[in-house]
């Protein structure tokens, strides 16, 4: 097959994108739903390959194909990596019903649907972590984090910001492979970080302080803040910064990471919204105290990920070379991880609703029930400094079809308004609505209004996508991805550097 040069259209690829109809696939089950359509598990009728179909509805578009969908497709066509979700092709469906003269019945000739065809993944990280009785081991957490950082480093090397890193956008298959998904909010960026980008991106609980303070010039460090929040969440057993709105989110960040000033974050006082939200008193950094039960290497890596100054925040390349990944217990082989029952947000939401109805019926009959499920910290090995909760069962391969009540603010509505809720394929947030395949609505682009002028002002970008937002690198800050030389040693075959093992030839 002839391959086009970089930057040129590949007209010889087969099947030609958009040339096939959706009837080439048999829809098996709906696994997600959002404003822009549905996500289905489907089977290719000729090869029997299982895929995920994400529908992009066109009936709300007055000016043609959504620009955000075009951006998503363009970025995914550019990225080819084992830790990035694969967009296989684009297929179309027929338009609306027509009358005897062949005219559309409703008069809208642009209706009809376009589907993005993705490789199918069994789970997302949030869905797995929320399973009753689920406890990740430390080698398992290291395995997932290493894959996340490897995929993210690849995106950053190719000048793509994800801008919506959260557990529901990290898809996992039953062979233990983790892939970055939902690039609906992703953007290409220039190396000088001088672009004027929107700060209304990234799910609230994972949004970095520079965006909350109004920065519109940022780079890959915004994604690394989100990674730090996920890392701490896996080790701690619950989200670490569950704010209900932007002011509360900043307050939680300052209470954990301290009050920023010109000494620790040069230029912070000149940020657009700094004076509106600076705390009335100086707060000390408490990351080490709050997570003192973490392993010291894990704590050191977390400190560098949750650095307030984005120019000093550790990049993905250096994070992969951190001692945490090169000390016992080492990351496990993905193929050694247990298999679990598939869990997609759309399905688990139904199960949770059924569970709530059963509990309400039981209460009416005065039947006692166990307390609601909460996440458990990881299983530890003897000699480790992590704390272990006694009396909890280890993970069960195959899992249960019973899903616990969602936690977080608002009871069953576990996600704060204004973020991206959801898990995996169609759950927008750890704060909003969407899925790993990005079926939620694409937010309006642009900088948006000034923050929070009054109570009840809208928060954050709506929906989930395949990325939004990036960190702010002040002039003169270190370029992304610079790191010291790799270190050889007994853990590295042939004495090679760690980085050489991580990235291969695309570094």
Q: Which residues are annotated as a binding site?
A: 54
E strand or H helix that includes residue 122: none
Surface-to-core class of residue 221, CB atoms within 10 Å of its CB (0-12 exposed, 13-18 middle, 19+ buried): buried
What end-to-end distance do the CA atoms of the chain give, in Å? 26
117 has which bridge partners? 53, 89
Surface-to-core class of residue 339, CB atoms within 10 Å of its CB (0-12 exposed, 13-18 middle, 19+ buried): middle
Please give the Cα distance from 197 to 274 (Å, whole number): 18
Residue tagged 């598990």 (tokens): 41
Evaluate whether 224 touches 184 at the Cβ level (below 8 Å).
Answer: no
E strand or H helix that includes residue 126: helix 125-129
Phi, psi angle pair for 232, to nearest 5°: -65, -35
Please give the Cα distance from 208 to 306 (Å, whole number): 9
CB atoms within 10 A of CB 322: 19
Q: Which of 217, 126, 8 is nearest to 424 (CA)?
A: 126
Please give the Cα distance from 501 to 503 (Å, whole number): 6
Angle at 470 between CA 464 and CA 476, to 5 degrees: 180
E strand or H helix that includes residue 234: helix 221-236
CB atoms within 10 A of CB 358: 12
Residue ranges of the binding site for ATP: 54
Please give the Cα distance from 121 to 341 (Å, whole number): 12
Please give the Cα distance from 199 to 144 (Å, whole number): 28
Evaluate whether 492 touches 480 at the Cβ level (below 8 Å).
Answer: no
Per-residue H/E/C for 266-309 = CCHHHCCCHHHHCCCCCCCCCHHHHCCCCCHHHHHHHHHHCCCC
173: annotated active-site residue? no
Among residues 122, 124, 130, 164, which one is catalytic?
Answer: 164
Q: What is the DSSP letter of 118?
A: E
Q: Which of 258, 222, 255, 221 is nearest to 240 (CA)?
A: 255
List, in sequence order, every beta strand (DSSP E) within 335-464. Answer: none
Please give the Cα distance from 310 to 202 (Å, whole number): 15
Angle at 148 between CA 160 and CA 229, to 5 degrees: 95
- Dig out the tokens for 75 from the structure: 């970025």
Evaluate whether 280 touches 109 at the Cβ level (below 8 Å).
Answer: no
Name the residues annotated as catalytic: 164
């Amino acid at each position: 097959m002839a391959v086009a040069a970089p930057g040129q259209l590949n007209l010889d690829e087969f099947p030609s994108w958009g040339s096939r109809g959706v009837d080439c696939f048999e829809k098996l089950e709906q696994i997600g739903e959002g404003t822009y359509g549905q996500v289905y598990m489907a089977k290719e009728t000729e090869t029997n390959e299982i895929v995920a179909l994400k529908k992009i509805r066109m009936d709300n578009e007055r000016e043609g194909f959504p620009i955000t969908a075009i951006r998503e497709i363009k970025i995914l066509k550019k990225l080819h990596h084992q830790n990035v979700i694969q967009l296989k092709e684009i297929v179309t469906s027929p338009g609306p019903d027509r009358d005897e003269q062949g005219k559309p019945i409703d008069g809208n000739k642009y209706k009809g649907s376009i589907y993005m065809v993705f490789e199918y993944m069994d789970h997302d990280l949030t869905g797995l972590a929320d399973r009753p009785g689920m406890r990740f081991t430390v080698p398992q957490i290291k395995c997932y984090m290493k894959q996340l950082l490897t995929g993210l480093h690849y995106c950053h090397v190719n000048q793509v910001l994800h801008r919506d890193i959260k557990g529901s956008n990290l898809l996992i298959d039953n062979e233990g492979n983790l892939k970055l998904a939902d690039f609906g909010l992703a953007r290409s960026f220039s190396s000088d970080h001088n672009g004027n980008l929107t700060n209304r991106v990234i799910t609230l609980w994972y949004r970095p302080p520079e965006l909350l303070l109004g920065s519109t010039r940022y780079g890959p460090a915004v994604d690394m803040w989100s990674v730090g929040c996920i890392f701490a969440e896996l080790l701690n057993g619950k989200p670490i910064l569950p704010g209900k709105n932007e002011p509360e989110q900043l307050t939680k960040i300052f209470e954990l990471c301290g009050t920023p000033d010109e000494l620790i974050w040069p230029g912070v006082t000149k940020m657009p919204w700094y004076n509106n939200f600076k705390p009335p008193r100086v707060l000390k950094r408490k990351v080490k105290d709050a997570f003192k039960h973490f392993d010291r290497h894990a704590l050191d890596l977390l400190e560098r990920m949750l650095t307030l100054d984005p120019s000093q925040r550790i990049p993905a390349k250096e994070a992969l070379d951190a001692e945490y990944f090169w000390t016992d217990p080492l990351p496990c082989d993905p193929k050694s991880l247990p298999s679990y029952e598939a869990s997609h947000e759309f399905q688990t939401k139904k199960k949770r609703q059924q569970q709530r109805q059963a509990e309400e019926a039981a209460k009416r009959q005065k039947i006692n029930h166990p307390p609601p499920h909460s996440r458990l910290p990881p299983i530890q090995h003897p000699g480790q400094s992590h704390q272990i909760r006694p009396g909890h069962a280890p993970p069960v391969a195959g899992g249960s079809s019973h899903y616990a009540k969602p936690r977080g603010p608002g009871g069953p509505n576990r996600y704060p308004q204004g973020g991206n809720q959801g898990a995996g394929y169609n759950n927008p947030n750890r704060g909003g609505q969407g899925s790993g395949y990005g079926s939620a609505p694409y937010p309006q682009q642009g900088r948006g209004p000034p923050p929070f002028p009054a109570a009840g002002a809208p928060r954050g970008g709506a929906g989930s996508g395949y990325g939004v937002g990036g960190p702010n690198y002040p002039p003169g800050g270190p370029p992304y991805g610079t790191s010291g030389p790799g270190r050889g040693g007994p853990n590295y075959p042939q004495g090679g550097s760690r980085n050489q093992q991580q990235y291969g030839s695309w570094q």
